[in-house]
Amino acid sequence: MLNITLKDGKVLEIEKGTTAYQVAESISKKLAKFAMVAKFNGELIDLESPLNEDGELEILDFASEEGLDAYRHSSAHVMAQAVQNLFPDVKFGIGPAIKDGFYYDFDTEHKFTPDDLEKIEKEIDRIIKDDYKFERREVTREEALSFFGEKNETYKVELIEALPEDSVITMYTQGSFTDLCRGPHLPSTGKLKAIKLMNLAGAYWRGDEKNKMLQRIYGTSFLKKGQLDEYLKRLEEAKKRDHRRLGKELDLFTIEEEGPGFPIFLPKGMVLRNALEDFMREEYEKWEYEEIKTPIILNRSLWEQSGHWDHYKENMYFTQIDEADYSIKPMNCPGCMLAYKYGQHSYRELPIRYAEMGLVHRHEKSGVLHGLMRVRAFTQDDAHIFMLYSQITDEIKKVIKMIDEIYKVFDFSYKVELSTRPEKAMGDIAVWDKATDDLRQALEELEIPYVINEGDGAFYGPKIDFHLEDSIGRTWQCGTIQLDFQMPEKFDINYIGEDGHKHRPAMIHRAIFGSVERFIGILIEHYAGAFPAWLAPVQARVLSISENNLEYCQQVVKDLKSKGIRAELDVRNEKIGYKIREAQMQKIPYMLVVGDKEMENGSLAVRSRSTGKQEVLPVDQFAENILEEIASRR
């Protein structure tokens, strides 16, 4: 008999060879019905896997990340089977689960069309109804090469050949389809319910543009049709909010073919951008940061010293000056190290908090560029904090509180991830462990829930990442806090301690917007272009009903501007209804309608974008109201 410990600590006694599914069924029929896969002693397994030793067992459903991945990975296999049934000449690449769905890459002479997606969906439905079992089989490297070689599956053969000689390889079969796969998978195809194929794209094999371009089919899947319908509805809403479309309609920014990945901010976009940067600079003052500015281009030796040359070179741009190698900075940190080293510092000065709105450049492949969300030149609201080791936890907590306050201004909720040491990392493991513990301690003292993101830290230190949730439920990674013991060592920075000797400070990298450009893109979509008054490029538009009101309207605009309100005038010879509709399309917070009556009384008919209501107010009263709204950043 075996002792199996469940997630709640309860211990079950079972016979050796009992499957994870049978354990789930013995606990609850409902648990077994909704189970996707299981985790045994920390390793993901199929529900049909027999348990042959004592251990800890967790049954995972669709609500878990692992269960969701298995559901969608199984969906990818079913889609591949459907494609094989309809297009027998196809060769298979890879088909993983991804955020919000799955994809599979195919090599075939047939050019897939949207009509083909409908046919494939019908075949998927048939495969689900036939309820084929997902059967797992362990094979040797030679057996796998023989199997896929006979089928002329060149991509699978290439993957197998890249594995170590003594690898144990697993294959999964459902019906007539067999794939090279680690799994785990659902028990059978009948467990799948709502699958939708979304779109087609090209993808180089293994992401290398030197390789052949394959055809990629993207899809998504859910446990219930209602969940799928809700997801599709959210996608439609996201299309309406697309920052690229709204950016053009609202005259905020443009990206031209002469500079792909290099956005140009137009006058209205600069008003928005400056409002954000001014807000952040107010926060610098409040949280006791000093602002610096470092060069965009610096000598190669600096990037070698920082580690970027070895760890980040493929993302950097280079030039030569006086026959010496230079790089355009991809990050602000090394320049900040030079700023700190400029003077000698005492322990009494610490912590020192240097902030920088720093323009950086990173080489991104053209295929991943996306409006303001993925660009090649962007400004980071960076800060680097130098501190005593005894100050680490308090400083991290202060940064977390600062980030929390700033995100509340934009009505963002967020989730927190603690990312640990990656494979390619600088420095001693003990130092990494210490840094990770410091970040964990700060989160736990503030009682902030977080999840561990194994192996996703920066190459120089672990980090806390903040994932914002926008108004339609999408998440965006923006803020980050990175604790770094490596960079102070590499740059030999120090302070004079209480004992009169030199000591090494600890350092935090932190950003809140992350990239100003990307944050603007997120805000455009979060607000659907309808910015709160403090951010709106135009805060009020005066709309004249007739030419008789022109002089009064001009005076109103002049008075509002003198008070710091961003106002403009529309005196075109158009009907007032047309002017109001156009102002609404431009997402202007307040439309100020002026006719003869308003002119006589020194008032305005104030129409609010957010409520649609109209009220008549004296000019000074409207100015007082909107200035209070702007100041409070409501």
Rounded distance between C-alpha atoms, residue 55 and residue 3, angstroms: 7
411 catalytic? Reply is no
Residue in 46, 61, 116, 382 annotated catalytic: 382
> Which residue(s) pair with 138 in the sheet?
170
CA-to-CA separations, 76 to 98, 115, 174, in angstroms, rounded: 10, 19, 12
Inter-axis angle of helices 429-445 and 392-409, nearest 10: 50
Residue in 216, 384, 421, 510 annotated catalytic: 384
Q: Please give the span between the terminal C-alpha atoms of the chain, in angstroms, as a whole number.
A: 64
333 catalytic? Reply is yes
273 catalytic? Reply is no
Rounded distance between C-alpha atoms, residue 399 and residue 456, angstroms: 20
Q: What type of residue is 15?
A: E
Place of tokens 């403090």: 534
Rounded distance between C-alpha atoms, residue 141 and residue 161, angstroms: 8
286 catalytic? Reply is no
Residue in 156, 329, 362, 421 annotated catalytic: 362
> What distance lies between CA 387 and its chain's CA centroid?
30
Q: Where do the H-state alpha helices sit in 509-618?
A: 516-526, 550-562, 576-585, 596-601
What is the total residue count of the chain? 634
Quick one: which of 184, 156, 152, 154 has its CA closest to 73?
184
380 catalytic? Reply is yes
Residue in 463, 510, 579, 587 annotated catalytic: 463
DSSP 212: P
DSSP 165: T
> Which residue(s) pair with 104 in the sheet?
217
CB 586 within 8 A of CB 603: no
Dihedral angle over CA of 523, 439, 387, 513, nearest 10 = -10
Residue 241: partners with Cβ closer than 8 Å, 6 or more residues away? 472, 524, 525, 526, 528, 529
Rounded distance between C-alpha atoms, residue 234 and residue 209, angstroms: 33
The per-residue DSSP string of 525-545 comes to HHTTT---TTT-SS-EEEEES
Rounded distance between C-alpha atoms, residue 239 and residue 245, angstroms: 9
Rounded distance between C-alpha atoms, residue 355 and residue 353, angstroms: 7
Inter-axis angle of helices 267-286 and 516-526, nearest 10: 110
Residues with catalytic function: 333, 362, 380, 382, 384, 463, 509
